[in-house]
Structure 1
Amino acid sequence: MRKNNYLILMFIILLVTLIACSNGESENAEGESSGEEVTVKLYTSESQDQVGAMMNEFKKEHPNINVDIFRTGTEEVIAKLEAERSAGGIEADMVWIADIDFFNSLDEEDMLEEYDSPNAENLNEDFIYNGGKYYEVRQIFNVLAYNTAHVTEPLESWHDLYRDDLEGRIAVANPNYSGAASLTLATLVSNEEFDWDYYVSLRDNSLKFEQGNGALASKVASGEYHAVSVVDFMARNAQNEGSPVEVVWPDEGAIIIPTPVGILEDSDVKEEAKLVIDYLLSEDAQNMFKEQGYIPVNPDVGVPENAPSVDEIDIMPLDLDFVKENREELKTEFSNIFNE
């Protein structure tokens, strides 16, 4: 009889232990899975090294969430998404690229998950798109940069890129690959002070192209190019690292490059993806963006070395309706001018 009672008692203890362990593995204090690992697929055009570094920090806080990064240029990310959709289903859970018009299109098709991040409570409304369907997590601008060892007359205007002394030594990113370059193209062409004549003048001054902004920053630092149109943080980082690079915020205004991040509605790991959004908007991540050379969206974090304060930046108007209505025409006319 005692033996039977003992066996029953042991069975009860074992059962209670299993239930407790099961509850502990399925959910921790933050409501996040702490058992089986989960993978969030992120498609991005942002710098592989910098995004990878941020996701490594994210994993320290959420060890059971892996962020699998697919990185290429904005136009190629879009092409991959469209190909997957045509094949039966998008594999990405999150998208982070420099094409806000594409995000707007996704939103119109109800393909984005609305999320009210707690870390967006005090965020400028300009950085919260369509009720939280996608967010700006740091600020990027297209500006000019030149090599001070080769250029004696400082650049001040976008028009300076076709000065005679810079012939054959100027370069921009290819808008057929780079989202930042594509938005720069659309912004300048829609401005009556520039329009397509501006790009004809650049062509006549033997403009060169690079696939992305990283090569531009590297080659203006080395002196291979004397002046470039490039995203601000890359030029600023080269300057801060001691290269003979001067960053120019043009008189006509810098060109803002929205680079939203959002969660796809059909994702199977939306709750984990929301934690990624929370992290990117957190003070820790905002400070990390600052360390990487970006201007954060959280004004309390400040700005990186040699960056202007946000209220000092003049921005050229970005007409998103123009971008949407002329998307294909922009590519066609650009290709006609440069035989791309």
Structure 2
Amino acid sequence: MTPKLRNLRSALSRVSGLAVAAALTVALAACSEPATPDESTDATTDAAASTSLTVYTSEPQAKIDELVAAFNEQNPDIDVEVFRAGTGDLTARIEAERTTGAIAADVLLAADAPTFESYKSDGLLQQYTPTGADALDPDVVDPEGFYVGTRIIPTVIAYNTGAVDAPPMSWQDLTDPQYLGRITMPNPDVSGAAAYNAAVWLNTPELGEAWLEGLAANEPVIAESNGPVGQAVAAGTQPVGIVVDYLVRELAAKGSPIALSYPTDGVPYVSQPAGIFADSDSTEAAQKFVDFLVSREGQELAVEQSYLPVRDDVGTPDGAPAMSELALLTPDLQVITDSQDEAVVTFNELVG
């Protein structure tokens, strides 16, 4: 090969190599260029927009699941995490978290107002009055704005319709010797509603300790909570029970031989309050959740779930009386709060 041809081949080789290198540089640059705003990932956007909300509740699991689903229809950007337990277990968990650091929940939705009164006194709750609070029963709204009731849950007398011909219509009726060994009721050490009821009964002049002694003389069977009480009455293993009313309606709707009486000498009730913890780092989401609970839509769902509502524009469950027909007991809440622990001790001494 002549020198001239060798020089030409060498030149062509150098040009080809440079072209390949240039092409690679362009390709690599294209791969490393930042994405334009239109190409940013949806996952990153969704993560930034989503808010996490943690709710501690004593609501039955199926009911809280329905409630969260309805809330998310209006607030799809809020990821609600639920921890569900009995009121006693919830308060124990909150106390443990409180003593070791911050409370992990944003919202508490549980049975009784005295628990919320204690948390308010200890500075564990933040003030928030929900939107539309003027439409609510004033008896369930904390005047200082630290919590609000979300449903009326009366305690009633349930009876098995196949085993009881003339049902008891009052608390006093339950002291009749004919009910010896035939009554069941929930444990106030477990059930927040039962603990509250003990304090209400003992602080109601027409009932008091004399009535509780008469009830104890009939040796009622103490069940773990309201659920087993309702089941025992429905099955007829205990013909009469002291239990929250919505459970009776639900069992009757499924065909169980069970009915209820709203006691003529006064109906104690809990209001399943909701409050926002002072430690919450999702306050805006928590406020939206509380707003939904007492909104017209939230209360319509409560009625569908067999609860009595805290507002008067949504009706009541099928088979339930109008709110105006009930002789609800609404004692001084401070008295109940101050006496509840002692009332549970008295109950256990006499009945347990």
Same fold, judged at TM 0.5 (above): yes
Whether 2:248 is the aligned partner of 1:251: answer no
- 2:11 is matched with none
Pairing 1:103–2:111 present: no
1:124 and 1:194 map into 2 onto residues whose CA distance is: 26
Task: Give the 3-state SS of the residue equivalent to 1:286 in structure 2.
Answer: helix
**Counterpart of 1:311 in 2: which secondary structure?**
helix
Match of residue 62, structure 1, among 75, 83, 90: 75
1:242 is matched with which residue? 255
Distance 1:14 1:121 in 2: 51
Gap regions ≥5 residues in structure 1: 1-12, 27-32
TM-score of the two chains, using structure 2 as the length reference: 0.83
SS at match of 1:217: helix
Q: CA deviation at 1:132?
A: 3.2
Q: Aligned match of 1:184 in 172, 180, 197?
A: 197
CA contact (8 A) 2:151 2:308 kept: yes
Say whether residues 1:312 and 2:325 are aligned partners. Answer: yes
Q: Within the alignment, does 1:228 sit opposite 2:241 as a pair?
A: yes
Segments of 4+ moved more than 6 angstroms: none
Structure-1 residue corresponding to 2:6:
none
Q: Are residues 1:141 and 2:151 paired?
A: no
Q: Is the 8 A contact 2:195 2:340 kept in 1?
A: no
| Selected match of 1:76 from 89, 112, 131 | 89
> Structure 1 pair 124/200, CA: closer, same or farther in 2 (3 Å)?
closer
**Aligned-partner Cα distance in 1 for 2:284–2:191:** 30
1:15 Cα shift?
Answer: 5.5
Alpha carbons 1:173, 1:213 under 8 Å: kept: yes
Residue 285 (structure 1) aligns with? 298
State whether residues 145 and 247 of structure 1, in contact with CA within 8 Å, keep that contact through their aligned partners in structure 2.
yes
Contact 1:289 / 1:296 at 8 angstroms: preserved in 2? yes
Mapping 1:126-165, distance limit 5 Å: 126-165=139-178
Offset of residue 247 of structure 1: 1.2
Distance in 2 of aligned mates of 1:139 and 1:18: 51
The alignment covers a number of residue pairs equal to: 321
Partner Cα separation in structure 2 for residue 121 and residue 253 of structure 1: 26
**AA partner of residue 241 (structure 2):** V
1:188 partner amino acid: W
**Which one has a bigger Cα radius of gyration?**
2
Measure the CA separation in 2 of the matches of 1:201 and 1:135: 35
Q: Aligned equivalents of 2:219 and 2:242: distance in 1? A: 14
Deviation at residue 235 of structure 1 after TM alignment: 1.3
Question: Which among 115, 133, 138 is matched to residue 125 of structure 1?
Answer: 138
Deviation at 1:84, TM superposition (A): 1.2
Identity of aligned residues (%): 32
Query: Are residue 329 (structure 1) and residue 342 (structure 2) matched?
Result: yes
Q: Are 1:113 and 2:118 an aligned pair?
A: no
- Most deviating of 308-317 and 33-42: 33-42
Could you tell me how far apart the structure 2 residues matched to 1:327 and 1:238 are?
30
**Normalising by the residue count of structure 1, what TM-score does the alignment of the two structures yield?**
0.86
Relative to structure 1, is the Cα distance of residues 64 and 232 closer, same or farther in structure 2, using a 3 angstrom cutoff? same
Instruction: Name the CA distance, whole Å, in 2 between partners of 1:61 and 1:87.
Output: 35
- Matched with 2:7 is none
After superposition, the C-alpha distances for 1:256-303 in whole angstroms (9 at most, x for unaligned) are 212210110111111111121122122222111111101112311111
Q: 1:132 to 1:325 in 2, by over 3 A?
A: closer
Does structure 2 retain, via aligned residues, the 8 Å contact 1:74–1:178? yes
Residue 18 of structure 1: how far off its partner (Å): 7.2
- Root-mean-square deviation (CA, aligned residues, Å) is 2.6
Where does structure 2 lack aligned partners over 5 or more consecutive residues? 1-33
